[in-house]
Structure 1
Amino acid sequence: MRFRDRPTVVYLVLVRTDALRKLVPPFPVPTVPDFTALALARREDLRTWSLHLLATHVLIGGATRRGKGSVLWSMVRALAGGVSSGLVRLWVIDPKGGMEFAMGRPMFARFACKSFEAMADLLDEAVTVMRERQTRLAGVVRVHTPTVDDPLVVVVIDEMAALTAYLQDSELKKRIANSLGLLLSQGAGVGVLVVAALQDPRKDVLPFRDLFPTRIALGLTEESQVDMVLGDGARNRGALADQMPRWAKGVGYVILDGTPDPMRVRFSYLSDDHIRAMAEEHPAPAHAADILAQVGRETTPEPERASVPRQVARPLLPKSLLDALNPKSDTPEEDA
């Protein structure tokens, strides 16, 4: 380095407390969301971290009670202006029976929370939307531009392992896996995106983990899980998600654009009152049913299972042997 190029002033910053210790309040709702810069979190340098959502899929990995809901609701809030204007359609799957997302139901063009058949139908219909757009846009554009007439479809899935690993119905499980594989491999370019959260990022739980270009790691339980979520070498570069303190709910690591080094951020926290107010102020428009959607109900009702009649217990021995062992007693009445 030449002498004249050497710096004359050096700034030394001494960190006395954790900059992410305080809760991050919800960010303002933009009237028109910028899909290339959705404000979701605060960085350690107190600047805002923004998510580039356009033409990508997002995977959120984190142990239970580590703040996955903060990430998902922060994203929903950043998209709320587009939801009410018709620029965005939120199709939400909540396998926990609606415990996480039921409060925001007015914002969702599609919502499935009880029936796994409804969840499979939702994903199948997302594939139908994707196929239609591929046919219409092929040779015209390479990346879909959201408009009110042709909105961005964001499929939000909480606890994804309930669909890919823990579901007992093998046929439904296969259906869901096929639809997810198609959406993750082909849907980003035509504006059908998947945002999924899960606790266990292993391959046998989520076989198509590598199809998520954008990943966020919250508090995890094992060292190996950090690289599973963020990519090989992420932990060695500073993403110590397995050493997250208990207070750090909603704190996680993201990969900044243009650099392999992870950045620690804290996502905004939305209380129940915030969510109710947001859902009331930014409901999905009535015409949200134009893309195989209908606000406020599932595609397929909860299936009615016929009761199985109980079989009468049969004796272990054949009837002929029972008759031989229990002969009818000769009585005077029978002789008469």
Structure 2
Amino acid sequence: MTGRHRDRYGYGLGIGFIPPSLVGILLGFGFFLIVKTVRALSRTAWRYRSELAPLVIAGALTVAGWYWHYTHPRWALPIAAGAWTVVLVLLLLPSRWAVVRRCWLPRRIERAYAALCVALAGTWLSAAVTAGPGTGPLPGLGMLFTLAGAIPWWVHRRRRARIQVERRLSAWPGIADQIGLTGSRVASATVGRFGYVVRLALRRGQTVQQAVRAAGGIESGLGARPGSVRIEADPVRADRAIVRVMQVDPLARPIPYPEPIGPSSILRPFPLGVFEDATALAVKLAYRNALIGGVVGSGKSGVLNVLLAGLIACPDVLVWGIDLKGGMELLPWMPSLARLAVEPAQAVRMLRDAVAELDRRAGEQAAAGQRLWQPSPAHPALVLVVDEWAELPAAAAPLADSLARRGRAVCVTLLAATQRPTQKAMQGGAIRSQMDVRICLRVREARDVDLILGQGMNAAGWNAQALDAPGKLLISDPEHNQPRPGRAYWLPDDAVSALAAAHAPIRPRDLADRPEVKQPWPEPSAAPSPTIPPQRESAENTTTAEQKLRDALAGAPQEGTEIGELIQVTGMSRAWVYRQLSALARQRQATQAQRGRWRTTR
């Protein structure tokens, strides 16, 4: 067969008797396989770009070393000088500088790691430019340096978490189509300690309320745990939504109350707890009425205890208490309370006294030409703490309404706790509308959220029915206008007694004992009414009463003796009994068997 025939049937190509059409098919199929392989490798490399980053950087340094070795060998010294200048900047620059924050290196350990990588890379590249990357020990040192920089990078928790979030958010277009947010996109994502925050760019015409209604679908689409998605409005743009996904619940366990730092002032915010993102939750009570609501067992008493712990640490505030559960909640605070009412008649009398003080302060300010009362130890603010507001008698309604409406300017404020602040429970809607600070704990029904926080708050994303532990709360006040769950600090009973006794010496005198109060004040509303009238605390009476108190505690049963019985036995005031019990407790001679009952330590 001639050469022409051999070329025609493929002999010239070395493929035997293969028709040209089949050759084209095989070549096309091979090209297709090459393209598919390159695409698959490219996708894999892009998907694992974070893990491959140290190897890519090492390869780039090697190529640069070869190139500059033959073209610019004199660059070795400037490269080393520049690298070590960056190292010094990273190690010595304060973390609060904006340039460091822009580099995402707010932590000292991260700056040290970056300095180490720059030092290793700059030193090796300088040597490679001088001698060549393949000379002497440079290849081995390059591999060693690459591993030294890659291992911390590979095992870093925040990097791995960020990569997982990016891969999860890559499916957002499909998720958005399924949950009714078609056209929205992920503008940015930030990974934190307990989860991640996504800044969502909404399509024109979409609103944050639509994103709030789709919160359940977002949880399902992102594979998050139930109840972990929080959606807030962007304070800058209406077509943006802030989506917080809490992968771990940082509020699952009670948070102990921090150690007191000494006397404070009512003009400062009080520490109340911690938000989900580990930031401090503080509330300002000066010139504001506060309302605490939630179902039984949601932690209202715990929140009251935390706020009382802050109030009694302020020498410029006078605290009166109303506890219509027989004093069960507020009696442990008695050493630091100026008055305590435990019966409806006493509560009405205390509110009447508060209104009289409000009128006196208003007249004093008008005469002095002042518009706002300035609290001080000599002229303290007055805070009335009311536990179970719904139990107040009808006669208290007009007095409480007057305090809520007129008390701000003279710093006479109300701190009320109740389960469901309906109009009937609050003796009318006017009192509830004057509550500037709203603290909502767990509720059973969504409509109760609107009762506590205000109309329409549940639809806006304030879902207090999802709170799943005592002390978890949502707070709405001028400083907190986003539905950010938090948890109040936890104060055990022994800590309450210790704080009340410790701050008793700095408490201001009651109004009836102040010479500047010209009005003849009646006896304190919570004056104890035992069978034996209280005696004056003279040295002789005090010594006898102390012995009687020790004898009563020694003869107490296992469940302890009630405070009322100790008052009757000693014939002294309730505040005196609490002071003595606190002193005996510090000396380990007495212990609180249960709330309101004491006995000797056995």
1:243 aligns to what? Answer: 466
Instruction: Choose which of 421, 432, 450 in structure 2 pairs with 1:209.
Output: 432
| Structure 1 residues 65-104: aligned runs within 5 Å | 65-82=297-314, 85=315, 87-104=316-333
Instruction: Choose which of 378, 389, 409 in structure 2 pairs with 1:189.
Output: 409
How far is 1:49 from its partner? 1.1
How far is 1:300 from its partner? 8.3
Instruction: From the two aligned structures, give the one with the greater helix fraction.
Output: 2
Q: Identity of aligned pairs, percent?
A: 27
Instruction: Choose which of 145, 149, 154 in structure 1 pairs with 2:378.
Output: 149
CA 1:213 to 1:20, structure 2 compared with 1: closer, same or farther past 3 Å?
same
Secondary structure (helix, strand or coil) at the match of 1:156 reads strand
Contact 2:437 2:477 in 1 (8 A): no
1:137 aligns to what? Answer: 365
Instruction: Choose which of 251, 264, 269 in structure 2 pairs with 1:37.
Output: 269
How far is 1:59 from its partner? 0.4
**TM-score, structure 2 as length reference:** 0.44
Number of aligned residue pairs = 281
How far is 1:125 from its partner? 0.2
- Alignment deviations for residues 197-238 of structure 1 (CA, whole Å, 9 cap, x no partner): 001111122112112111110011211110111112211222
Whole-Å Cα distance in 1 between the matches of residues 345 and 398 of structure 2? 14
Contact 2:420 2:452 in 1 (8 A): no
Q: In structure 2, give the amino acid aligned to 1:275.
A: V
Secondary structure (helix, strand or coil) at the match of 2:321 reads strand
How far is 1:259 from its partner? 6.0
1:320 aligns to what? Answer: none
1:124 aligns to what? Answer: 352
How far is 1:286 from its partner? 7.6
Whole-Å Cα distance in 2 between the matches of residues 142 and 264 of structure 1? 36
Secondary structure (helix, strand or coil) at the match of 2:312 reads helix
Asked if residue 298 in structure 1 is aligned to residue 530 in structure 2, the reply is: no
Asked if residue 21 in structure 1 is aligned to residue 252 in structure 2, the reply is: yes
Q: In structure 2, give the amino acid aligned to 1:190.
A: V
Whole-Å Cα distance in 2 between the matches of residues 120 and 62 of structure 1? 25
In our comparison, the structure showing a higher alpha carbon Rg is 2
Secondary structure (helix, strand or coil) at the match of 1:153 reads strand
Instruction: Choose which of 478, 487, 501 in structure 2 pairs with 1:257.
Output: 478
CA 1:250 to 1:88, structure 2 compared with 1: closer, same or farther past 3 Å?
same
Whole-Å Cα distance in 2 between the matches of residues 160 and 9 of structure 1? 46
User: Which consecutive residues of structure 1, in runs of 5 or more, have no partner in the other structure?
Assistant: 1-7, 168-172, 303-336
CA 1:294 to 1:265, structure 2 compared with 1: closer, same or farther past 3 Å?
farther
CA 1:124 to 1:34, structure 2 compared with 1: closer, same or farther past 3 Å?
closer
Q: In structure 2, give the amino acid aligned to 1:32.
A: S
Asked if residue 179 in structure 1 is aligned to residue 396 in structure 2, the reply is: no
Whole-Å Cα distance in 2 between the matches of residues 153 and 127 of structure 1? 11
- Alignment deviations for residues 108-162 of structure 1 (CA, whole Å, 9 cap, x no partner): 001111x211111000000011000000112622221111111011100000000
CA 1:141 to 1:239, structure 2 compared with 1: closer, same or farther past 3 Å?
same
Moved more, 234-243 or 271-280: 234-243
- Alignment deviations for residues 238-268 of structure 1 (CA, whole Å, 9 cap, x no partner): 22112322xx101110125356422211111
CA 1:236 to 1:141, structure 2 compared with 1: closer, same or farther past 3 Å?
same
How far is 1:25 from its partner? 1.1
Instruction: Choose which of 504, 509, 524 in structure 2 pairs with 1:287.
Output: 509
User: Which consecutive residues of structure 2, in runs of 5 or more, have no partner in the other structure?
Assistant: 1-186, 196-245, 515-520, 531-602
CA 1:10 to 1:17, structure 2 compared with 1: closer, same or farther past 3 Å?
closer
Whole-Å Cα distance in 1 between the matches of residues 301 and 279 of structure 2? 22
Instruction: Choose which of 184, 191, 196 in structure 2 pairs with 1:12.
Output: 191
| Structure 1 segments of 4+ aligned residues over 4 angstroms from their partners | 291-295, 299-302
Q: Which has the higher contact order (CA 8 A, sep 6+)?
A: 1
How far is 1:41 from its partner? 1.2
